[in-house]
């Protein structure tokens, strides 16, 4: 079985996220989604998520395409990745991580055979959380 790992906040799940999962699943048989903690989402994005880590984890876990959803590590990211031992890590088109840095860190924890793939955007101008949130209406 070939395991694929993706990461993200997944705050305000939308069609771009679903496309991201579909693209990633093409690289393996078992899709693991690591959902960012509240602390890390705020650190990376500069603001608190709209939904709690428990809510985002539950929502992602309910998706049929996702085989396993886990809460991301707060600090030892690559140690946590080693524990999941993915065959492939798929990065979103706009994720901060540079493939070279990820490769170096994976090699450092013994994941020398893990492949790294940068995925394509769904529709950059429409399916991005910041755009979806900006254009949403409160009910």
**The pLDDT of residue 127:** 47
Mean pLDDT of the chain: 91
**The pLDDT of residue 128:** 53
State yes or no: pLDDT of 83 exceeds 90: yes
**The pLDDT of residue 37:** 97
- Please give the average per-residue pLDDT across 45-50, as a whole number: 94
Catalytic residue numbers read 45, 47
Second-level CATH architecture of 3-134:
3-Layer(aba) Sandwich (3.40)
DSSP track, the chain: --EEEEEE---S--HHHHHHHHHHHTT-SEEEEEEPPHHHHHHHHSS--SS-HHHHHHHHHT-TT-SEEEEPPSS-HHHHHHHH--SEEEE-TT-S--HHHHHHHHHHTT-TT-EEEEPPPS-TTTS-HHHHHHH----
């Amino acid at each position: 079985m070939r395991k694929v790992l993706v990461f993200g906040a997944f705050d305000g799940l939308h069609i771009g996220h679903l496309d991201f999962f579909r693209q990633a699943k093409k690289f393996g048989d078992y899709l693991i989604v690591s959902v960012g903690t509240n602390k890390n989402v705020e650190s990376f994005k500069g603001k608190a998520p709209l939904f709690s880590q428990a809510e985002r984890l539950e929502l992602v876990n309910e998706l049929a395409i996702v085989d396993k959803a886990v809460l991301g590590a707060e600090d030892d990211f690559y140690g946590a990745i080693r524990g999941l031992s993915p065959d492939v890590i798929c990065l979103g088109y706009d994720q901060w991580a540079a493939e070279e840095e990820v490769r170096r860190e994976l090699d450092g924890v013994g994941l020398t055979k893990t492949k790294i793939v940068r995925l394509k955007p769904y529709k950059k101008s429409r399916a991005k959380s910041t755009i979806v949130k900006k254009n949403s209406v409160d009910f």
